[in-house]
Amino acid sequence: MTKTFRYLSPFLLFLLLFLAGYSQADQKSLDEYWKEVELDISLLDRTLSNENCQSDARSFIGCVQALNRLFARDEENTIFIPSDSLASFDIPLTPIPSADFGDLMLAAFPEFNSTSLVDNAIKATKFRNDLNTRLEDLFLSPDKSVDFPYILAWFKTKLLDKKKDDIQKITAEAYNSFLSVAEDPHTYILPSRYFSDRMRSNSDNYGGIGAWIKKRDEVVLIKPWKGSPAMKAGLLPGDIITHVDETDIKAMPLTDVIKMIKGPQGTKVAFRIIRKNKTLGSPIIVVRERIDLKNVTHKVLEDKNHEHRVGYIKLRSFGSEDTCRDVRRALEALEAQSVSGLILDMRDNGGGLLDEAVCVSSLFLPPNSPVVAIKDISSGFETTYAKDSPLLFDLPLITLINSGTASASEIVSGALQDHRRGFVVGDRSFGKGTVQSGRHFSKGVLLYQTDQRFYLPSGRSNQLEGIIPDLQVFTKPDPDKDDMFAIREEDAYIYALPHIGDKFVQPRPELVNALSRCVNATGVAKRLARDEFLDDYQLLYAQDAMACILERKESPPSFFTGLKQAPGFGSRMD
């Protein structure tokens, strides 16, 4: 197995695209990489042949998805639907004048713009499922009239000339849309140099303002990084951004907002801000700088009414071949500072390289402890991965995860959980348990294809189920339905591979319940988490849990009724 083209991440492509949006002025975008490869519209001639599209229902729907990408418009949301289904959906659809495409027609649909993320997701999911049901019914109709080559030929005649400068990109995106349904959501093509260049140049560096932002119904600045251009200019956590360079961004997708914020180092970007329900009179001007966002960072956590020194490591991805080395160095640095325990934060870690996930897991486990088994989907051949390296860190451990913890980071958190190595705290992870291999597709293009599943040491699969934390904690002490909402594998992809095997069953219920009772009785997280932007409630809760673990021996026996006899709680290994 090679590291270069063996990936476990559903988000690695997204992550690289996201980082590219923030990239330095001299780094190329994915669009530019597509211009360098040999890929033309003839690929779609084969893909959108009637023989291919009419072979089964998933290929049929995949071909419709490819057409959706070809006919996409910047000014409105467009989609192909069965011609007789216009009035059958719960949302209003508007027909778009075009040629007679038989039993398919092009329609526009509105934005899902409720202020509730959950309500938007429910509407979007229902629309997607209803549409797929109607497309499946159309495929099964014996007298259907859908000529995919004719629709592709119409596109080439009427629309291709307007998009000729992006022909490789459009072809690739249409083909990937087909693969996401006909094969599986994590099978796609990509320029071969794109991954390798991003790995080589270390995509942690970019020109930007140095702040996290999110969007619900408004674009909100979550946190400017210490010493960042955003902080130096006076942007504060919780600031609502209404305009970027005098452009109203309220209706813009977050990705478009990010594109506006990025720019060459040394250039300026202006923000109009609402702060504490008041509009600031003048825009805040930020000078873009090169931002160094390290993949692995560590520190000793500030004491939160506890007497113990607790180490903290933030691990953002497994996309670098230096990941395990950097985690090892962070552990050594923290041990030199005499920490009593560690919180390993893998929230929003989208995954990466298998070997790095195995190596990081082994830092916390005895030599030759099994970490993951990789099973070939077609042949059934299975390989178990472990390392014979010595245990590096045997102090109490808490692993932090959330819905953005995916694939390779699920291997680490799941392996530690199965070996009863500390406790997992946070929210259920993303739920992707498949592996992709890269192979030659055409000159300058690789096909990343799902060919294996992985299984955790207990034999369970995290596919669709994710890693279920020992202690579930949301981002707020009293979350509403939007705070508890997250997109996971089963939500993002209608044709995701199914879960195989047994469901997760908590192996230490009494111990976990005792730890939960201790946190609720003695913890300070709820009292300290006063500001959702300034205070990280999940991390504060993890600190409370670590305090309970570390203070166990000094506590009166009556306080931990039934706990002192339970194995593993507070021990270095179980």
User: CA-CA distance, 30 to 260, in Å (whole number)?
Assistant: 17
Annotation says 418 is catalytic: yes
3-state secondary structure of 399: strand
Which of 223, 262, 314, 432 does the annotation list as catalytic? 432
- How crowded is the C-beta side of 357, counted as CA atoms within 13 Å? 36
Q: What are the tens digits of pLDDT across the range 148-172? A: 999 999 999 998 888 877 899 999 9
Annotation says 432 is catalytic: yes
Q: In which residue ranges of the chain is pLDDT below 50?
A: 1-5, 9-27, 201-204, 553-574
> Which amino acid does the sequence have at 51?
E
Q: What are the tens digits of pLDDT across the range 180-217? A: 999 998 999 999 888 677 655 444 455 789 888 877 66
**DSSP secondary-structure letter at 504?**
P
Which of 418, 427, 536, 544 does the annotation list as catalytic? 418
Which of 407, 413, 429, 461 does the annotation list as catalytic? 407
Q: What are the tens digits of pLDDT across the range 274-307? A: 988 889 999 999 999 987 778 999 999 976 666 7
- How crowded is the C-beta side of 108, counted as CA atoms within 13 Å? 12
Q: Residue 319: what pLDDT? A: 85
> Which amino acid does the sequence have at 273?
I
User: CA-CA distance, 13 to 416, in Å (whole number)?
Assistant: 26
Ramachandran assignment for 83, one of left (phi > 0), alpha (psi -120 to 50 degrees), beta (any other): alpha
> Which amino acid does the sequence have at 546?
M
Domains of the chain: 28-197 (no CATH), 205-292 (2.30.42.10), 296-366+390-429+464-554 (3.90.226.10)
Q: Residue 527: what pLDDT? A: 84
318 burial type by CB count under 10 A (0-12 exposed, 13-18 middle, 19+ buried) = buried
For residue 71, give the nearest of 97, 103, 38 by alpha carbon: 97
Four-point Cα dihedral 116, 121, 127, 131, nearest 10: 170
Annotation says 564 is catalytic: no
For residue 54, give the nearest of 169, 158, 135, 168 by alpha carbon: 135
At 453, give phi and psi (nearest 5°): -115, 155
User: CA-CA distance, 170 to 69, in Å (whole number)?
Assistant: 8
Q: Residue 303: what pLDDT? A: 66
Helix (H) or strand (E) holding 529: none
